[in-house]
Structure 1
Amino acid sequence: MTQNFWKDKYPDGIASEIDPDRYPNVQAVLKESCKRFADKIAFSNLGQTLTYQELYTLSGQFAAYLQNHTDLKPGDRIAIQLPNVLQYPVAIFGAMRAGLIVVNTNPLYTAREMQHQFKDAGVLALVCLANMAHLAEQVLPNTEIRHVIITEVGDLLPPLKRLLVNSVVRYVKKMVPAYHLPRAIKFTDALAQGHKEVVVDALPASDDVAVLQYTGGTTGIAKGAMLTHRNLLANMLQCQVLMACNMQEGREIVIAPLPLYHIYAFTFHCMAMMLLGNHNVLITNPRDLPAMIKDLSKWKFTGFVGLNTLFVALCNNEHFRALDFSALKVTLSGGMALQHAAADRWKEITGCGICEGYGMTETSPVVSVNPIQHCRLGTIGIPVPSTDCKVVDDDGVAQPFGTPGELCVKGPQVMKGYWNRPEATAEVLSPDGWLRTGDIAVIESDGYIRIVDRKKDMILVSGFNVYPNELEDVLAQLPGVLQCAAIGVPDDKAGEQIKVFVVPKPGTSLTTEQVLKHMHDNLTGYKRPKYVEFRDSLPTTNVGKILRRELRDQELKKLSA
Structure 2
Amino acid sequence: MIGPIIRMGRRQAARVAMVRSRQTLGSLLARAAAVHGGSVLVDQAAEARTGVPATKLTVAGAAKLVDRWAAALVEDDKISSGDRVVLAMPNSVELFLATLAVSRAGAIPAPVNDAMRDDEIAHVVLDANAPLVIRGVDELDVLAEHLGVSAGLGEDRGADERVAALFYTSGTTGSPKGAALTHRALVGELSRLAALPGGLLICELLIALPVAHIFGFAALAAAASAGVPVRFRPRFRPTECLDDIEERRSAAFAGVPTMYRMLEEAGADMRDLSSIRFWVSGADVMPPELAHRFKRRGAAFALPGLGSIGEATFAEGYGMVETGGGAAAKLSPPFVPFGLGDQLGIPMPGYRFRVVDDDGDEVRVGAVGQLLLRGPGVLEGYWNDSAATEAVLDAGGWLSTGDLVRRGPMGTFSFQGRAKVVIKSGGFSVYPPEVERVFEQHPDVVEAGVVGLPDDTLGEVPVVGLRMAKGATSTPDELLSWVGERLSTYKVPRRVYFVDDLPRTGTNKLQRDELIERLLDLD
Question: For the superposition of Structure 1 and Structure 2, which TM-score range results when normalised by the shorter chain?
Answer: 0.7 to 0.9
1:93-104 aligned at under 5 Å gives the runs: 93-104=100-111
| Counterpart for residue 311 of structure 1 | 260
Q: CA deviation at 1:289?
A: 2.7
Q: Which residue of the other structure, out of 236, 240, 249, is the alignment partner of 2:190?
A: 236
Distance 2:116 2:355 in 1: 35
| Counterpart for residue 348 of structure 1 | 296
| Counterpart for residue 370 of structure 1 | 330
- Code of the aligned partner of 1:550: E
User: Is the aligned partner of 1:467 residue 2:421?
Assistant: no
- Range 407-416 or range 345-354, more displaced: 345-354
- Code of the aligned partner of 1:275: S
Distance 1:201 1:419 in 2: 27
Question: How many aligned positions are there?
Answer: 481
Distance 1:472 1:520 in 2: 13
Q: CA deviation at 1:473?
A: 1.8
Alpha-carbon displacement from aligned partner over 1:396-416 (angstroms, at most 9, x marks no partner): 001122211101110011000
Structure 1 residues 237 and 320, CA, compared in 2 at 3 Å: closer, same or farther? farther
TM-score by length of 2: 0.85
Structure 1 residues 414 and 225, CA, compared in 2 at 3 Å: closer, same or farther? same
Q: 1:358–1:368: 8 Å Cα contact kept in structure 2?
A: yes
- Code of the aligned partner of 2:339: R
Q: 1:43–1:281: 8 Å Cα contact kept in structure 2?
A: yes
Q: 1:221–1:469: 8 Å Cα contact kept in structure 2?
A: no
Structure 1 residues 449 and 478, CA, compared in 2 at 3 Å: closer, same or farther? same
| Counterpart for residue 67 of structure 1 | 74
- Code of the aligned partner of 1:427: A
| Counterpart for residue 217 of structure 2 | 266
| Counterpart for residue 5 of structure 2 | none
Distance 1:322 1:198 in 2: 45
Q: 2:92–2:211: 8 Å Cα contact kept in structure 1?
A: no
Structure 2 residue ranges without an equivalent (≥5)? 1-17, 46-53, 299-310
Q: CA deviation at 1:467?
A: 0.6
Q: 2:282–2:318: 8 Å Cα contact kept in structure 1?
A: yes
Alpha-carbon displacement from aligned partner over 1:162-207 (angstroms, at most 9, x marks no partner): xxxxxxxxxxxxxxxxxxxxxxx64442343464355253333566
- Code of the aligned partner of 1:268: A
Q: 2:239–2:263: 8 Å Cα contact kept in structure 1?
A: no
1:326-341 aligned at under 5 Å gives the runs: 326=275, 328-341=276-289
Higher relative contact order (CA 8 A, sep 6+): 1
Q: 1:75–1:100: 8 Å Cα contact kept in structure 2?
A: yes
* Identical counterparts, % of pairs: 29
User: Is the aligned partner of 1:291 residue 2:245?
Assistant: no
Q: CA deviation at 1:426?
A: 0.7
Q: CA deviation at 1:98?
A: 0.8
Alpha-carbon displacement from aligned partner over 1:207-248 (angstroms, at most 9, x marks no partner): 61111111124664221110011221345368x49x959983
| Counterpart for residue 359 of structure 2 | 395
Q: Give every structure 1 segment of 4 or more consecutive aligned residues whose post-TM-superposition deviation is greater than 4 Å.
A: 19-22, 217-220, 243-247, 372-375, 556-559
Q: 2:104–2:159: 8 Å Cα contact kept in structure 1?
A: no
Distance 1:464 1:395 in 2: 30
Structure 1 residue ranges without an equivalent (≥5)? 1-18, 129-149, 152-184
User: Is the aligned partner of 1:248 residue 2:200?
Assistant: yes
1:116-195 aligned at under 5 Å gives the runs: 116-128=123-135, 150-151=136-137, 186-193=139-146, 195=149
| Counterpart for residue 301 of structure 1 | 250
Distance 2:502 2:114 in 1: 35
Distance 2:431 2:498 in 1: 20
Q: CA deviation at 1:528?
A: 0.9
Distance 1:394 1:56 in 2: 48
| Counterpart for residue 167 of structure 2 | 213
Alpha-carbon displacement from aligned partner over 1:243-276 (angstroms, at most 9, x marks no partner): 9599835x5311111111110111121x222221
User: Is the aligned partner of 1:108 residue 2:56?
Assistant: no
Q: 1:65–1:197: 8 Å Cα contact kept in structure 2?
A: no
Q: 1:264–1:365: 8 Å Cα contact kept in structure 2?
A: yes
SS in 2 for 1:311: helix
- Code of the aligned partner of 1:32: R
Distance 1:415 1:540 in 2: 35
Q: 1:20–1:233: 8 Å Cα contact kept in structure 2?
A: no
Q: CA deviation at 1:479?
A: 1.9
Distance 1:207 1:94 in 2: 14
| Counterpart for residue 504 of structure 1 | 468
Q: CA deviation at 1:480?
A: 2.4
Structure 1 residues 321 and 217, CA, compared in 2 at 3 Å: closer, same or farther? farther
